[in-house]
A and B are shown apart, each in its own frame.
Chain A
């Protein structure tokens, strides 16, 4: 019987969040805490000739001013190519150049304005294809001289290429010969912003014994510890990182940036507590953003409407520094075709430096970008073959026995069931073949479909853990290293634990903040792997509890441990269920009526390390980077004004194979939120740079997000093809709602306007500028 799995258990953080009691990093008291502010670069690419900090230092209340000269260390999770503060050269507009520490924020801000920097402008590189061209200036002189932290990063000397991943399968040259229909298309997607409502922020202090305490709005407390420890040669145990509630992450809080600056600030003032806050404008221009992408795709189909070959080139615009981009590039290669059976494939995914703001993981980990390109091509092919685009996808859907791009053999457990998702979405979205339907003069309605799939790209040795204690009332405390940033992982983990112990989910209390001193390490709260990785750790910790409860029970009842059952908060013997002991009387050890102590207090612990993952073969790309895939299908319906080039999004649907629906309401909300983000980003979001590489007004007034009144009706359906190794068969799901939406919107608008849309965002202007099909 299910006690918790499959139920719409209420969020554990609900009442904290509606009463203002949920504390975020910058909500902690600030008395006695110094304030730090950043000066950032006004040039996209320039040599720093001179920095004059004398005036700033002269202001009363200013404690320290730091520049690149004060911190020679380089940072980056994969390739150490980024200084904390620019040294000698700036590589993007918004790059941190100096840091002021003062008694309060207004003083620090005043001092920042008095720092004078002399720049000598250098030529700027603004697109990946420009960066790849012969004779383009190098953004990093010695890209292959940087320290690599993982071996599968391949910077190419004398170029702007930070890394490259290849997929090679079958024989594309031969297969293209057999094709009856061919589409060759180029795509351009600009960078955009994460825009979590909480701006990134960090605090630091250092005790006189050298212990470091960081409090940060971060998805990666354990990476903060690791990077500080390695860069500044501090034993990891002396670094404590705390993460309270996080106000949205979406991948943007996975990198380690402000934490290092806050540490430097504190170190410069003798270890005093310092709080580094940045305005929204710097959160957009200085802290890492979402990737841009250029793609060149060629895909061919035979006379039966089956895809025979694909030749794909993806250029990821990683901006000025790599951060996690090489792995996002690898992620593109891993899933480059979308979830389709394609035997002949050649793919080049290249991570390229430009003078844009550097980029990092964004919800979808590159899938929301390349999926737009490949799924648009699928629609172009379907239309050339005169096939219903949804039927065309069913015909080519990946299925058990197919090989993924990296030549992993698909099984139902590994990848799930795309055909079922596509069939189910027909009804959910009232699919009508994908043609535009006139509503009135100059107005049509059209639907677009797109599929998605995604595997994860963690390091091959990523770990997670869980610790469980009991309270005297028999309820449990669950402690993991999972950050609560909205995706509700804590509640889902509590459900997994409750189910294992066969109790109600309200019998599990969670620790909503992370402290690296007390919580077992969880790699990072990213990649939607919480329920998978931490979930398996919780399962093991629960098994550990059960074993101890049975041991205590067997001693009390005087029978073998395997005769003891645990359910409904009771321990009893199978042979005599009427006679039981409530959790509260046995979890702290048992005391008989005579006062005799029996058994031991029960404490659960579980650890989990990913297994069986590999690096990709540098030539063919063969290998497996993640434990499983999640796939699904999405449809967007628009009502389009053919004269004004404007449109309204009526509804957005997702059918996703989640393996197991563990919390219907919460999962529905997460998928809907993903769709909302996909709609916002593909319909209006983009960083606009001028010819000097300066982003135009990075703030929420000019960079518009979707607001209430613009949202569609969201529809979510689930398919449950269990994953054999995960808790209760579940798959990752938290970020996936976003992935196929830009493509589905693009396909709907292409159908509505009869234009081959290949550029994001899909604003009326983009549509208007795209030549209509009759004229090409």
Chain B
């Protein structure tokens, strides 16, 4: 196992680009993405793994970036909403389904949905969709619109 002390320079693969950042071992991946790389789509909501606003994709799976240290992300492929480039089907689906109001939870939901599609290319059963999306909270919508967006995402591709 590698042991890090003080600030160390690590290599992160984010949105298809290689970055080198100097981090403390205790720095959260979320903070490093937001504060050092300027990728602020992932949001802090609780820093406790309870809300999902900070969700990113790691090697194709949804991960709460507040529960992961930046040093742990070395050697993995990180994708954030910025890396979807506005072209992922889920982004248009969210717009068409009105799946947000304040938009603060949106990035996290987008990444969970995008990962859902990555892992399940064909539309899974409703209860599987629910299971995936239960990790995230939205205080504005009634969730119905978010469900509709997931369906639209599958139907559009």
Contact = CB atoms under 8 A, between A and B. Distances in A.
Given A20-B41, A20-B81, A711-B143, A669 B130 contact: no
Given A14-B95, A18-B95, A19-B86, A672 B101 contact: no
A29 B26 CA distance: 21
A17 B45 contact: no
Contacts of A487: 101
A666 B84 CA distance: 26
A198 B43 contact: yes
B104 interface: yes
Nearest to A737: B142
Contact of A18 (B51, B80, B106, B134): B106
B34 to A, nearest CB: 7
Contact of A248 (B34, B48, B84, B102): B102
A18 B82 CA distance: 9
Contacts of B105: 197
A763 interface: no
B106 A486 contact: no
Contacts of A440: none
Contacts, number: 151
A27 B24 contact: no
A198 B44 CA distance: 8
Contacts of B152: none
A336 to B, nearest CB: 28
A707 B147 CA distance: 12
A592 B142 CA distance: 55
Q: Which size class do A's interface residues fall under? A: 35 or more
A279 B6 CA distance: 25
Nearest to A283: B46
Interface string A689-731: 0000000000111000111110101100000000000000000
Given A20-B80, A247-B104, A708-B146, A29 B38 contact: yes
Interface in A15-32: 15-20, 22-24, 26-27, 29-30
Interface of A is mostly: loop
Contact of A707 (B40, B91, B137): B137
A677 B40 CA distance: 27
B107 interface: yes
B40 A665 contact: no
A199 B54 CA distance: 13
Interface string B72-114: 0000000011101010000110110010111111110010000
Given A19-B84, A106-B24, A708-B130, A246 B50 contact: no
B21 to A, nearest CB: 14
A216 to B, nearest CB: 15
Nearest to B83: A20
B91 A27 contact: no
A79 B109 CA distance: 41
A483 to B, nearest CB: 10
A175 interface: no
Nearest to B104: A247
B97 to A, nearest CB: 10
Contact of A24 (B35, B43, B140, B144): B43
A22 B143 CA distance: 21
Contacts of A246: 102
A676 B147 CA distance: 14
Contacts of B107: 20
A24 B102 CA distance: 10
Given A10-B95, A714-B144, A707 B134 contact: yes
A109 to B, nearest CB: 11
Contact of A672 (B46, B50, B80, B144): B144
A707 B137 CA distance: 6
Contacts of A247: 43, 102-104
Contacts of B94: 18
A669 B51 contact: no
A636 interface: no
A195 B134 CA distance: 17
A666 B141 CA distance: 11
Interface in A470-494: 485-488
A195 B49 CA distance: 15
Given A19-B82, A199-B45, A676-B143, A485 B51 contact: no
A280 B48 contact: yes
Nearest to B126: A709
A665 B143 CA distance: 15
A714 B142 contact: yes
Given A18-B91, A197-B53, A700 B101 contact: no
A79 to B, nearest CB: 29
A701 B91 contact: no
- Shortest beta-carbon contacts, A-B, top 9: A20-B41, A247-B104, A486-B102, A17-B103, A486-B101, A676-B142, A700-B50, A27-B40, A709-B130
18 contacts: A17-B100, A18-B86, A18-B94, A19-B82, A20-B80, A24-B104, A27-B40, A30-B35, A248-B101, A248-B102, A486-B103, A672-B142, A675-B142, A676-B143, A699-B48, A700-B137, A708-B134, A708-B136
Interface of B: 24, 26, 34-35, 38-41, 43-51, 53, 80-82, 84, 86, 91-92, 94-95, 98, 100-107, 110, 127, 130-131, 133-134, 136-147
Interface of A: 10-11, 13-20, 22-24, 26-27, 29-30, 106, 195-199, 245-250, 279-280, 485-488, 665-666, 669-670, 672-673, 675-677, 699-701, 705-709, 711, 713-714
